[in-house]
Amino acid sequence: MTVLESAPVKVRTCAGRVTHPRPTGQDRYTISEVAAHTGLSAHTLRWYERIGLMPHVDRTHTGQRRFSNRDLDWLELVGKLRLTGMPVADMVRYAELVREGEHTFSEREALLTAHRENVRERIAELQDTLHVLDFKIEIYAGARRSAERA
Amino acid sequence: MTVLESAPVKVRTCAGRVTHPRPTGQDRYTISEVAAHTGLSAHTLRWYERIGLMPHVDRTHTGQRRFSNRDLDWLELVGKLRLTGMPVADMVRYAELVREGEHTFSEREALLTAHRENVRERIAELQDTLHVLDFKIEIYAGARRSAERA
DNA sequence: TATTGACTTGGAGTGCACTCCAAGCAAGCC
DNA sequence: GGCTTGCTTGGAGTGCACTCCAAGTCAATA
């Protein structure tokens, strides 16, 4: 805890996951602060950088990583894409396009549009399964109710 | 192709996946027919049985598997649970409960109810990501439109 | 000065869900 | 009989996404 001075208050998101708030007015976070904030392990953060999924994190004069708010923004997007099951290789490709500059806008748009279609299909599949689960659960619940009545 | 005599007509589901129709009036399918029908490989079907995710498939006198319509029903459910990311170990647990008989109804209900909650959370996460994707795509599309106007 | 603790690296290890392999058997066809 | 095709088995291999390890550096504290 070198930069983040306040106590690490935990926050519960609407989806039930626990996360740490981003300290305001700071722009240089240690790897363990970022790990606490994002829920990713320090190992994973180093690995993301090694494979090119992070846009090269700034260092102190002794070589320690100092993540910026921009890095946290990027990790937030990566986290969302990861939750939707986008393969790491595709996210690395997107990161490359971002590094290459504005002339890759249309390719980025195509990549995200294809992924959006993917996500929509996944939602439809999940909702389909939800009906099956409702049906099965109702059978078991019905059996339980008639057992309780007996 | 020993049992399924009709040509393997392909069917497109609402989610866009391609599958094979279940031949009517049959109740003994070879492993390759089941593979074609479910989209799983024959390897995976054997593996499912080995780890206890299939309720022991019937055999011919020479030891070849012959899947029943009941087996196909089971594989359909397994497929749905798999699509929702349920770990294989959990599915095996559910299969064990089914084999144990009706006294496991309440445990099965609890297992499926917990999973349903899980699926609902996943849908919410995906929809959240969808908004982020819409936002990003709109930025790229906007840039493209103003470039085209220029 | 010595120790503690957080950090660094490249490379090796882990867990999951398949996926494949080698060797062999049975049936159908020329 | 010989060939092909489809199936059988246990066990080994694969790809993904981490996850951990050993050996070392540096800054702060006892």
Per-residue pLDDT of A5-27, as tens digits, reads 233 344 444 444 445 567 655 78
> What are the φ and ψ backbone dihedral angles of B13, each rounded to 5 degrees?
-80, 170
Element holding B66 (H helix, E strand) = strand B65-66
In this model, does residue B23 exceed pLDDT 80? no
Decide if B84 and A137 are in contact by the 8 Å CB cutoff: no
CB of B34 closer than 8 Å to CB of B72: yes
**Shortest alpha-carbon distance between residue A74 and chain B (Å):** 12
Q: Give the pLDDT band (50/70/90) at residue A147.
A: confident
Q: Could you tell me what percent of chain B has a pLDDT over 70? A: 83
Q: Give the pLDDT band (50/70/90) at residue B2.
A: very low
The CATH number linked to B24 is 1.10.1660.10
Statement to judge: residues A75 and A142 lie in one domain:
no
Decide if A129 and B83 are in contact by the 8 Å CB cutoff: yes
More confident residue, A1 or B92: B92
Statement to judge: residues A82 and A106 lie in one domain:
no
CB of A84 closer than 8 Å to CB of A55: no
- Mean pLDDT across chain B: 85
Residue ending a domain, choose from A41, A61, A86:
A86
What's the rounded Cα separation, in Å, for the pair A138 and A39? 36
- Mean pLDDT across chain A: 85
Statement to judge: residues B136 and B82 lie in one domain:
no
Element holding A17 (H helix, E strand) = none
Statement to judge: residues A69 and A105 lie in one domain:
no
Q: Among all residues of chain B, which has the CA nearest to that of A98?
A: B140
Q: What is the mean pLDDT of residues B25-52?
A: 90
- Residue range of the domain that includes B74: 1-86
* Nucleotides on strand C lying under 7 Å from protein C-beta: 6-10, 16-21, 25-27
